[in-house]
Chain A
Amino acid sequence: MQIEQKLLNEINARLERQDANGGNGWASTRRLAAGAFKDMGLPTRRSEAYKYTPVAKRFTDNLTLENEAGTVQATRALEQLDGIHLSTTNGLLDSVPAHLPSGLTISSLVDAYQGNRVFVNDHLSRAFVAERDAFSSLAAAAAEDGILIHVAANTAVDQTIVIHHDNVSSSGLVQPRLLVVADKGASVQIIEHFGHAGASSAFENRIAEMMVADGGSIDHVLIFERSEEATFVNGLHVYQEGSSHYATNTITLGGGMVRNNLHFLPDGEECETHLNGLYIARGSQHIDNHTFVDHAKPNCESNELFKGIVADTATGVFNGKILVRQDSQKINAYQSSKSILLDRSASIYAKPELEIYADDVRCSHGATTGELDEDALFYLRARGIPAEKARLLLLEAFARDVVDLIKEGSVRDYLYARLHAILEAHAS
């Protein structure tokens, strides 16, 4: 494909320009990622993992790494939240917030590298496996900067960190990079919001790496609400050391085509991993959640709940893989995916994949796809509740089940209101 070579040329030009300026940073890992991308190429529909999701088709030949500054002014829906607020333009940090609590560092990756290159080299590109993910490799190769959130050992950050990804280039390829590191015993809660960005037709291909050291904890929520023209590939790569806690909730309400690639590697014993998600696809939206939990060490637990509501001519895809390696005994891994189809023209492809090589484990999965429960509807209507309200009540209950797992109350309230507004239009 022509576009792949064009992007690689642009990446090489960037790297050479930096070399000529004395180089800055992690060029070697970027070159490795570029090589991996070159080998893999963009996944076509012939690739099993992208059979239902033709993201590569959205890589039109005019895509370029050179983005003009974001011009779309978005409203910040989560501005009122208590917490530490950050904003980004084309994925880059606008400014470092003042008065950060001690033990918390927030900076651009370039600044972090200049301050402590050993730290950045030790953590960047450690949580993701380049050969596994062409999109994240491309983003890792292209991104010249990014955001670092670092919580020092035994620091509990009480305030929620809220990242407003609110400005993107109206066309072009935006590849934001985020690195979150919670050191030993540290804990932090992060909310990322990709808000309504008007009629932006940007292609966002982001790579986020999150690392939790021994006994650490990260709670993460991502809410994606871009317009129907937007394309989003979300590469999340989580690495956990022993006795750590990681929870993520991926809420996809917007975007024309969205692919969430969520990878988890609990690489120590006694890890707890929670991966939950909700999507509502309507109009001609296409929303795909691919998750992969690699249980590499024994005595760990993972809980996974993904729910989707698909209306109109929209498409939902879920693929959840759990791998339990041979020596990973005493693993409890639970996966559940449930989806509701609201229209005959809507489609859902759901596939759980359990690959278990250890013999003393508890793993379960369940996948259901169907229409709203007729008996439940009848029961509500038999109590005088009009059909549309009854449907809305059931749809909201279905979706809220996932939102209820979010720790932050004000985020839950925001999402309850959004769900109500969105689902109201689809309950009649």
Chain B
Amino acid sequence: MIRPNNPATPIPLKNITMLTIKNLHASIEEDGTEILKGLDLTVNAGEVHAIMGPNGSGKSTLASVLAGREDYEVTEGSIDFDGEDLLEMETDERAREGLFLAFQYPVELPGVSMSNFLKQAVNSVREHRGEEPLSAGDFLKLMKEKAALVHLDPSLKTRSVNEGFSGGEKKRNEIFQLAMLDPKLAILDETDSGLDIDALRIVADGVNDLRGEDRAFVVITHYQRLLDYIVPDFVHVLVDGKIVMSGGKELALELEEKGYDWIKADTGQAV
């Protein structure tokens, strides 16, 4: 079922646990600096969780660790993804299992056309699910349909991935790829950064269209602004590598008003 484009509409939750992070510790591979220091988080199917926090609190590290970036080493803890040990999987296996990371800084791939890139990605995921590769016609149809979701020009298929894309186009392209790959869990890493209000609205509308009872979102953001458009079910505050406070969507407004310092004081966290 696709959730209608109205974030206020309640959706029936099946209470399937999509992601369980327990006591996660992660360090920078290169110098051993610990960034995540015992993070716990549970995300059920159909839910949208926002993770907020000051700069340097570990938000993007969390996204990178979930996606399997090798620059980070997990030293303790566990991550269960839909019944499987996520940390045992390679980056591409995670993606084929249905984990999607919308990059904060999408990478430019000169010479790799959007259509070739997406064909390989979509068919890798389909093969993993035991489905036939899409025919050329069906693939084009799917591309056209999903590109419209984020107002991307269909002519983009011949362009190199992200090369010469504007900042807004790059972010819309991430949501477009999300729609193409139909993941179980989508992590949006600062998708709002560098977007003007119109682009933000387009991106948020695209995400809202993709909300559904089988899919969960983890929305990482520094600012409350995005959450006006993608209304979360839960808001978590990440400070110094740990979630120090959780609440409903109103917590985001409180953070916007008061900043992060009161939480640090309240929870005794050092900056």
Contacts and interface: CB of A to CB of B under 8 A. Distances in A.
Interface of A: 373, 375-376, 378-387, 389-390, 393-394, 396-398, 400-401
Contact of A397 (B68, B110, B125): B110
Contacts of B100: 382
Contacts of A387: 90, 92
Given A382-B91, A382-B101, A384-B121, A401 B96 contact: no
Nearest to A388: B92
B181 A380 contact: no
B95 interface: yes
Contacts of B94: 382
Contacts of A398: 111
Contact of A385 (B68, B124, B160): B124
B230 interface: no
Nearest to A386: B92
B128 A384 contact: yes
Given A378-B69, A379-B103, A380-B117, A385 B92 contact: yes
Given A385-B120, A386-B124, A400-B111, 13 more contacts: A375-B107, A381-B91, A381-B92, A383-B95, A383-B181, A384-B92, A384-B124, A385-B95, A385-B121, A386-B92, A397-B160, A401-B110, A401-B111
29 contacts: A375-B107, A378-B67, A378-B69, A378-B107, A379-B107, A380-B109, A380-B121, A381-B91, A382-B67, A382-B68, A382-B91, A382-B95, A382-B103, A383-B95, A383-B124, A383-B181, A384-B92, A384-B121, A384-B125, A384-B181, A385-B92, A385-B95, A385-B120, A389-B120, A393-B116, A393-B117, A397-B109, A397-B160, A401-B111
Interface residues of B, number: 29
B106 to A, nearest CB: 7
B112 interface: yes
A333 to B, nearest CB: 23
* Interface residues of A, dominant DSSP: helix
B177 interface: yes
A376 B109 contact: yes
Contacts of A397: 109-112, 160
Nearest to B96: A384
B71 to A, nearest CB: 9
Closest 6 CB pairs of A and B: A397-B111, A384-B95, A383-B121, A379-B107, A381-B92, A381-B91
Contacts of B125: 384
Contacts of A375: 107
Nearest to B118: A383
Contacts of B128: 384
Nearest to B64: A378
Interface string B59-101: 0000000011110000000000000000000111011100011
Contact of A381 (B95, B106, B181): B95
A398 B109 CA distance: 10
Interface centre among A375, A376, A379, A383 (most CB of B within 10 A): A383
Contacts of B90: 381, 387
Given A381-B91, A383-B181, A394 B109 contact: yes
A393 B112 CA distance: 7
A375 B95 CA distance: 16
